[in-house]
Amino acid sequence: MKVVEFSQLGNPADVLQLKTLPERSPGPGEIRVQVLATPIHPANLLQIAGQYAAAAELPSVPGGEGIGRVIETGPGVEQYQTGQNVLLAGVGGTWRDEIVAPVEGFVPAPPGDIEQLSMIAVNPMTAHLMLTDFVDLKEGDWIIQSAANSAVGEMVIQLAAQRGINTVNIVRREELAFSLKALGATVVVVDGPDLAERVHAATGGADIRLAFDAVAGDTHQRMIETLGYGASIVVYGSLSGKQPELNLRAMITKDIRPRGFWLAHWYQTANPETKQAAMAALVPLVASGQVKTKIDSRFPLEEIGEAVTRAAASGRDGKVLLTPTHH
């Protein structure tokens, strides 16, 4: 079987190698799974480059989620049958064409769009949890987000629209407005001076109770000015590369509540019932295509260099998927 691996940190296109390992049959309690699709996320590239909050143990196989098909079951495995699709949930190291691992690393996949389901556990789950875990939002409420055209941002728009929640979406380029509105965005604004005034005008002075910020820096400060009393601003990235100042005046006089969000920790610590409930809320929407993650391109494992280069390219429009097995 083929595995993508890195044994030193560096530029992903340089340090990733495709290795061939001997095949093996599943042992007791294990299943053997053909990988159908597994996405390349920015966090994967950061970890390979040594720039992620959690360091990889070397050598390491990247990849945190995907979908596969059971091709062999080990002794004592009764909950899975050959031919059944499974989500690669927690098994880790998914950039390979086959995985043999204990059943605990998988979740039965529902029928539905295989490629969309291969990407459910990271970006849609981030959007879902940020929309549910910080503020009790009701239909008609308003939220605001930066990096609105990112994979998480577009999923926030779609999940919010499903619930009748209004979104203010901050982008860097005016021409993104059309596609975001097609996804269900209520308001799209271009980042820059007078952001708060323009948001106020576009929303009719709405009381914005929750913000998602993946940019940090000056955008973070401008977003705070758009918020209502007691609002939370959840930071889940810093694309600008700049740390904002803590806005003490806004925290003290407007009770603005800065928070962080890290999906990896949620997967490590949430109890199984909580995880199942979150997945149960998301799966029907994703499997049916009611919410979608854009796909830019697909690559076989043999083209891993091209794949990670494309995933890091600025002109990319959607996720890059590895599709190790023709399906």
Nearer to a second copy, 143 or 215 (CB): 215
* Closest to 251 measured CA to CA, from 267, 229, 273, 282: 229
Q: Does 261 bind a second copy (CB under 8 A)?
A: yes
Q: Does 272 bind a second copy (CB under 8 A)?
A: no
Q: Does the CA dihedral 139-158-315-39 come out positive or negative?
A: positive
CB proximity list for 199: less than 8 A, separation 6 or greater: 144, 168, 187, 189, 208, 226
Strand partners, 260: 235
Q: Contact 25/72 with Cβ under 8 angstroms?
A: yes
Q: Does 256 bind a second copy (CB under 8 A)?
A: yes
Nearer to a second copy, 193 or 260 (CB): 260
CB of 311 to a second copy, least distance (A): 22
Q: Contact 140/166 with Cβ under 8 angstroms?
A: yes
Q: What are phi and psi of 2, to 5 degrees?
A: -105, 140
DSSP state of 243: P
CB of 109 to a second copy, least distance (A): 30
Q: Does 246 bind a second copy (CB under 8 A)?
A: yes
Nearer to a second copy, 246 or 280 (CB): 246
Amino acid letter for position 149: N
Q: What are phi and psi of 313, to 5 degrees?
A: -75, 145
CB of 250 to a second copy, least distance (A): 8
Over the window 43 to 62, marking each residue x when it contacts a second copy by CB under 8 A and - when it does not, the resulting string is ----------xx--------
Q: Does 260 bind a second copy (CB under 8 A)?
A: yes
Catalytic residue among 52, 80, 229, 267: 52
Catalytic residue list contains 52: yes
CB of 256 to a second copy, least distance (A): 7
Q: Does 247 bind a second copy (CB under 8 A)?
A: yes
Helix (H) or strand (E) holding 154: helix 151-162
Q: What are phi and psi of 169, to 5 degrees?
A: -115, 120
Q: What are phi and psi of 87, to 5 degrees?
A: -80, 140
Q: Does 212 bind a second copy (CB under 8 A)?
A: no
DSSP state of 60: B
Nearer to a second copy, 139 or 245 (CB): 245
Part in contact with a second copy (CB under 8 A); list of ranges 9-17, 56-64, 72-80, 256-264? 256-264
Among 244, 292, 299, 304, interactor with a second copy by CB under 8 A: 244
DSSP state of 253: H
DSSP state of 104: G
Among 21, 50, 262, 276, interactor with a second copy by CB under 8 A: 262
Nearer to a second copy, 18 or 239 (CB): 239
DSSP state of 96: B
Among 80, 106, 236, 299, interactor with a second copy by CB under 8 A: 236
Q: Does 258 bind a second copy (CB under 8 A)?
A: yes
CA–chain centroid gap for 2, Å, is 25
Q: Does 64 bind a second copy (CB under 8 A)?
A: no
Residues with a known catalytic role: 52
- Note the residues at the interface with a second copy (CB under 8 A): 53-54, 216, 220, 235-236, 238, 243-262, 265
